[in-house]
């Protein structure tokens, strides 16, 4: 082999080794990437700790006051007694039975009322004449409280599931209707000028322009509708029911089982928080393009 071939071979070998080294460097995370991941983990734990400080402090003070007899256990049972009542309901199967029925009622009522609110809010937001015909009546009905209309629902539809679902749907309808309407009307008019220049059809304007721009308001309305749906569920089950978490609370109140009443309240709180967190998760996924102030 000549000296030239040796030099070429060594050069090729050096080039291959550099390429392999470059690939290894690309696969190995840099120090900055490792630090970023570590900071993210630490920030998540800090959020958990910060969020737990207040409830843990309240529970500790509550337990101490109850154990020392400062507060009557009949009026305000200790967290440990509430936990025991929760455990008994869980083991007996009553909790899952009542919770399943309550979730079914809330889900069906929310789907009916929320869907109607979304569709009607979209129609009112898009068409001025439709707004003038429908919106005044809807705004008048929106001001009627749940408790005022509940006896009428019972007279019309009885104590069955239909009246309960309708009451929940009535509450879930208005937040989505209002927020969808506002979201559409808050779309920048300059975007419509751009759509006309691009010769968008009416359908394309709605799907590509109006609905994406109104999505933040729609998701806000979704969160509010879920909260009002749970409120409607409580009213419906307390006014007249033989099953559900609301019935569990009323039944426990009649027998002065305050710890069971607290269990029912906490179930409503945790399930409501879970559904709200689900919508907030959807907000983060669907609204990544927003650049908001985070405090």
Contact 53, 42 (CB under 8 A): no
C-alpha torsion angle, residues 53, 59, 62, 65 (rounded to 10): -80
Assess if residue 74 is contained within a domain. Answer: no
Q: Per the domain annotation, does 295 fall within a domain? A: no
Instruction: Tell me the CA distances in angstroms from 235 to 1, 88, 139, 160, 238, one per residue in order.
Output: 94, 26, 22, 14, 5
| Structure tokens, 111 | 């789907």
Domain containing 184: what range? 79-286
Residues shown for the chain: 295
CATH number at residue 213: 1.10.3720.10
The Cα–Cα gap between 77 and 85 comes to 10
In degrees, to the nearest 5, what angle opens at C-alpha 78 toward C-alphas 76 and 83?
120
Q: Which stretches in the chain have pLDDT values below 70? A: 1-42, 289-295
Number of domains in the chain: 2
Give residue 12's pLDDT: 47
Does a structural domain hold residue 128? yes
The three-state secondary structure class of 240 is: coil
> Residue 294 domain-assigned?
no
The reply to whether 141 and 268 lie within a common domain is yes
Check whether residue 148 and residue 194 sit in a common domain. yes
Last residue of a domain, one of 17, 32, 67: 67
Tally Cβ neighbours within 10 Å of residue 251.
Answer: 16
The predicted-structure confidence for 10-25, as pLDDT tens digits, reads as follows: 444 555 555 555 444 4
- Residue 70 tokens read as 């400062």
Last residue of a domain, one of 13, 43, 67: 67
Domain boundary at 67, 88, 104, which? Answer: 67
At residue 294, φ and ψ (nearest 5 deg) are -105, 0
Tens digits of residue pLDDT in 44-87: 777 777 778 888 898 888 888 888 878 777 788 888 888 998 89
Tokens 């749940």 belong to which residue?
146
Instruction: Enter the pTM of the model.
Output: 0.73
């Amino acid at each position: 082999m000549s000296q030239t071939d040796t030099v070429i071979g060594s050069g090729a070998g050096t080039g291959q080794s550099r390429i392999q080294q470059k690939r290894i460097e690309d696969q190995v995370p840099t120090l900055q990437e490792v630090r970023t991941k570590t900071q993210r983990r630490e920030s998540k734990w800090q959020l958990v700790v910060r969020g737990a400080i207040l409830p843990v402090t309240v529970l500790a003070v509550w337990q101490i006051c109850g154990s020392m007899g400062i507060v009557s256990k009949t009026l305000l049972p200790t967290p440990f007694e509430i936990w025991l009542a929760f455990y008994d309901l869980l083991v007996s199967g009553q909790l899952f039975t009542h919770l399943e029925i309550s979730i079914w009622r809330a889900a069906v009522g929310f789907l009916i009322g929320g869907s109607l609110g979304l569709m009607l809010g979209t129609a009112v937001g898009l068409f001025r004449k439709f707004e003038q015909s429908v919106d005044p009546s809807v705004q008048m009905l929106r001001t009627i409280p749940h408790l005022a209309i509940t006896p009428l629902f019972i007279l019309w539809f009885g104590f069955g599931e239909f009246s309960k679902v309708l009451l929940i749907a009535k509450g879930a309808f208005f937040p989505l209707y209002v927020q969808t309407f506002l979201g559409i009307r808050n779309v920048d008019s300059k975007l419509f000028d751009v759509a006309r220049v691009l010769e968008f059809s009416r359908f394309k304007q709605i799907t590509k322009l109006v609905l994406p721009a109104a999505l933040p308001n729609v998701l806000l309305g979704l969160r509010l509708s879920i909260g009002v749906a749970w409120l409607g569920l409580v009213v419906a089950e307390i006014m007249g029911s033989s099953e559900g978490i609301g019935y569990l609370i009323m039944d426990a109140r009649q027998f002065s089982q305050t710890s069971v009443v607290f269990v029912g309240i906490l179930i409503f709180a945790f399930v409501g928080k879970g559904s709200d967190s689900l919508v907030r998760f959807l907000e983060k996924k669907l609204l990544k393009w927003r650049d908001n102030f985070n405090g």
